A and B are shown apart, each in its own frame.
Chain A
């Protein structure tokens, strides 16, 4: 339970201070949430999708640490103007590099943001023809988001049980 020094890069601090595309989107085509308040990080991604499945606008909401807010903000900038296929291709590693790096203990912030984005993209194609580039099986980032949520559930049950 020791603390870790977290020397964030200046870009993280800047995006934390002045996040881009923060807030819910009234006219979003699709949105998705990933993470657990019990673990202390939740990211919601909103997408406005136009013709040719291009992301016209993206926005985010975040409950979490500074890295969480910064990664979510950066991701919404990275996907704008891209097709959903291109947006799907953004990995947590690419996002982390674009951010100028993350302390290893904060890698999950990158996977959570990408996990939320991919969830939104999957939701979009639920009622549309399934494109061939969209894998049937959950990707690493999606699995990790799910794991964080399951961990939260377990913690919640354990503490609830102790109290009861």
Chain B
């Protein structure tokens, strides 16, 4: 019906571009792309399980990448790391695979209400209809998990718990260690999985220290390529494969390893951890300037998620009286790319389940904007967003019939 080409022409080229939608996709860092390129056609293009030189070269590359990710996650052995084609696939595998492998021990699965949909919907739409009992643990107004409710939910029937280390939308850093201890105290056999995609490279995260059994990390969330993720599965933790086929080096996912993407993920991790302190303090400084600047210069706002114990890259603000989809488009016209938890951006016209779970009313969630910064951004990027955003909010509020009724529209 529409020509997207015409739409893009009508959109035009903004004077400056700042891509802050790192939650939903990310440009691959230049150094990462350069590291990947030789592996498509020139180097190590063999199958790592076949006995010839290109195969051995590929095997070597995969082993090095496993070792790199192992080190950053604090796992004991590289065999505990599995490359999976994407975090959605990895979380599906973690939940489905662990539930199926442990189904004879019990039926209860516990998740938080603010898990990403590749955890929450696996539990609710795939596992519950297959006879598993899913318990959703509530969170408080800042997204912190209710530890009492978690403790009460764990029983002898509990086979699996999945709680993200850092929430993907509102940046809440969960008290994961307490949560793991609580679960293991009541049931040492319960498998604890965490989606650590928003923790990896942003906060100290070590599977050994935390005592988690499984952890997912995503490549694109650290400016690596899309289409690759890693799932840590601790020794002795049972997980069934979801797909069958020719097994190679990755025991939980059949098929030919995607060596160029694995190299990209490794390189992205290497760059992030080479100067963890420097990177995270840079992110935190930019984030604070952006977050505080917006809250100060724009009236009628709500910060979604906590101020303290918040991931250093995350900003999520509701601009009351503004509809989020319109705001994302208005900002796009100025070259600032963000996403919204508004109902208008979703198929069922319901706002973000994370914002609803922390008690935001639909009209508050409709005006929410999610932004993430990375080590690639500079002060001028933040300056530009701080210059553009107040005008965008003002223009949309100016069009609204709800003005005068203020934020509590």
B347 CB contact (under 8 Å) in A1, A24, A38, A64: A1
Asked if A69 is an interface residue, CB under 8 A from chain B, the answer is yes
A101 CB contact (under 8 Å) in B2, B326, B333, B350: B2
A-B contact pairs, 21 of them (CB 8 A): A2-B347, A6-B325, A9-B3, A9-B7, A16-B330, A19-B399, A22-B398, A40-B342, A40-B366, A42-B400, A42-B401, A43-B401, A44-B401, A63-B409, A64-B344, A101-B1, A101-B2, A105-B349, A155-B362, A156-B362, A163-B359
Residues 44-72 of A, flagged 1 when their CB comes within 8 A of B and 0 if not, give 10000000000000000111111011000
Is A3 a contact partner of B346 (Cβ separation < 8 A)? yes
**In whole Å, how far is B123's beta carbon from the nearest beta carbon of chain A?**
14
B346 CB contact (under 8 Å) in A2, A9, A22: A2
Q: Give the A-B contact count at a CB cut-off of 8 A.
A: 117
Asked if B402 is an interface residue, CB under 8 A from chain A, the answer is yes
**In whole Å, how far is B93's beta carbon from the nearest beta carbon of chain A?**
20
Q: Which residues of A have CB within 8 Å of B366?
A: 37, 40
Is A8 a contact partner of B7 (Cβ separation < 8 A)? yes
Is A61 a contact partner of B400 (Cβ separation < 8 A)? yes
Q: Which residues of A have CB within 8 Å of B399?
A: 19, 22-23, 61-63, 69
Asked if B68 is an interface residue, CB under 8 A from chain A, the answer is no
* A63 and B401 contact, Cβ closer than 8 Å, known pairs A37-B409, A39-B343: yes
B333 CB contact (under 8 Å) in A17, A64, A103: A17
B344 CB contact (under 8 Å) in A38, A40, A155: A40
Can you add 19 more A-B contacts, CB < 8 Å, to A42-B402, A64-B326, A66-B326? A1-B350, A1-B353, A4-B347, A9-B3, A14-B10, A19-B399, A24-B401, A40-B363, A43-B401, A61-B399, A61-B400, A61-B401, A63-B402, A65-B344, A68-B323, A69-B399, A103-B2, A156-B361, A156-B362
**A interface, CB within 8 angstroms of B:** 1-4, 6-10, 13-14, 16-17, 19, 22-24, 33, 37-44, 61-66, 68-69, 100-101, 103, 105, 155-156, 159, 163
**In whole Å, how far is A152's beta carbon from the nearest beta carbon of chain B?**
8
Q: Which residues of B have CB within 8 Å of A68?
A: 323, 326
**In whole Å, how far is A59's beta carbon from the nearest beta carbon of chain B?**
11
Q: Which residues of B have CB within 8 Å of A155?
A: 362
Complex Cα gap A33–B402 (Å) = 10
Q: Which residues of B have CB within 8 Å of A10?
A: 3, 6-7, 9-10
Is B362 a contact partner of A38 (Cβ separation < 8 A)? yes
Q: Which residues of A have CB within 8 Å of B2?
A: 7-9, 100-101, 103
Asked if B11 is an interface residue, CB under 8 A from chain A, the answer is yes
Asked if B143 is an interface residue, CB under 8 A from chain A, the answer is no
Q: Which residues of B have CB within 8 Å of A66?
A: 325-326, 329
**In whole Å, how far is A95's beta carbon from the nearest beta carbon of chain B?**
15
**In whole Å, how far is A89's beta carbon from the nearest beta carbon of chain B?**
25
* A69 and B347 contact, Cβ closer than 8 Å, known pairs A1-B117, A7-B7, A101-B2: no
Closest to A35 in B: B401
**In whole Å, how far is B337's beta carbon from the nearest beta carbon of chain A?**
15
Q: Which residues of A have CB within 8 Å of B402?
A: 37, 42, 63
Complex Cα gap A155–B356 (Å) = 12
**In whole Å, how far is B71's beta carbon from the nearest beta carbon of chain A?**
35
Is B11 a contact partner of A13 (Cβ separation < 8 A)? yes
Complex Cα gap A159–B342 (Å) = 16
Q: Which residues of A have CB within 8 Å of B346?
A: 1-4
Asked if B4 is an interface residue, CB under 8 A from chain A, the answer is yes
Is B325 a contact partner of A65 (Cβ separation < 8 A)? yes
**In whole Å, how far is A58's beta carbon from the nearest beta carbon of chain B?**
14
Closest to A24 in B: B401
Complex Cα gap A64–B321 (Å) = 9
Q: Which residues of B have CB within 8 Å of A101?
A: 1-2
Complex Cα gap A17–B363 (Å) = 23
Complex Cα gap A17–B321 (Å) = 18
**In whole Å, how far is A48's beta carbon from the nearest beta carbon of chain B?**
17
**In whole Å, how far is B387's beta carbon from the nearest beta carbon of chain A?**
18
Is B321 a contact partner of A63 (Cβ separation < 8 A)? yes
Complex Cα gap A14–B6 (Å) = 11
CB contact list, B100-128 vs A, under 8 A: 117
Complex Cα gap A105–B348 (Å) = 9
Is A65 a contact partner of B326 (Cβ separation < 8 A)? yes
Asked if B345 is an interface residue, CB under 8 A from chain A, the answer is yes
Q: Which residues of B have CB within 8 Å of A100?
A: 2
Complex Cα gap A141–B108 (Å) = 47
